[in-house]
Amino acid sequence: MTTRGAEGALASVVASDPADGEWVRLLSTPGPGHVEALQRLHELLLRAARQQVSRMQPALSAIGRVRQDDIVNQAADEAMVSLLGKLSTFEGRSRFSTWAYKFGILQAAVEVNRNLWRHRDIPLDAVVEPLSTGASPEQYAEATDFSRAVGMAIEQALTDHQRRVALALLVDDVPIDVLAERLGTSRNALYKTLHDARTRLRAHLTATGFLPAALTPELTR
């Protein structure tokens, strides 16, 4: 189906979507309306995947249109499986369509980044060399001091794992799901590592006078 055709079909489907409370019953119970509900859900997920791929478009110039369509379809299919496995967790706190979209968006983002980084190495051996830029000599000096202090805090306050993860995510801009896949872990676990690293850096910078004490959360470990 072409993109325009799919959007047209979706518009007519959305108009006749089940009520939020009906979705779960129709999707989980074979019988009248079950197949149609599955089809409508897949169209919602295609829409979500297409929106996310479109949002990531500037990074996608190296990937052709056909491959992008493949990514959208693959993401919608995988999101469908994931969503149906979690159908019982829909609590009606939002519209069903909003709840469903997030599965398609997540899967599309993961697929796009996986494609973009498929043939790229992720070196985890970096050390920090501070560099600063500022508009005025005063700002330049301040930025230099703070950047240098952060660089020293990275070397002194973080574990090797925290340093590698923080630099890969925030300096080398490696997508978190790509890094998680390479390291055999999860987005959740990497974000926790990053959060702990930030906490340690802030505590170290507070102790050395580069951050005000009142703004620093307590160390969690």
Partner 1 sequence: MTNRRLRLTPEMADKLTLDAEPWLSCDDCFHLVDQYVESLLSGKDDSPAMRAHLRGCSACHDEAASLLVLAAADLGTDPAEALQRLTR
Out of 26, 71, 75, 211, point to the residue binding partner 1 (CB under 8 A): 211
- Residue-wise burial string across 167-185, b where 16 or more C-beta atoms lie within 10 A, e elsewhere: bbbeeeebbbbbbbbebee
The stretch near partner 1 (CB under 8 A) out of 1-9, 25-33, 49-57, 68-76 is: 49-57
- Kindly state the helix (H) or strand (E) to which residue 217 belongs, with its residue range: none
Cβ contact 164:124 at 8 Å: yes
Q: Are 9 and 1 in contact (CB under 8 A)?
A: yes
Question: Is 34 or 198 the residue whose CB approaches partner 1 more closely?
Answer: 198
Out of 66, 133, 137, 138, point to the residue binding partner 1 (CB under 8 A).
133
Do residues 24 and 87 touch, judged by C-beta distance below 8 A?
yes
The stretch near partner 1 (CB under 8 A) out of 21-29, 50-58, 61-69, 73-81 is 50-58
Axis-axis angle for helices 176-183, 96-116 (nearest 10): 60
Residues at the interface with partner 1 (CB under 8 A):
14, 47-48, 51-52, 55-56, 89, 93-95, 97-99, 101-102, 105-106, 109, 123, 125-134, 143, 146-147, 150-151, 154, 166-167, 170-172, 175-177, 187-188, 191-192, 194-195, 197-198, 201-202, 205, 211, 215-217
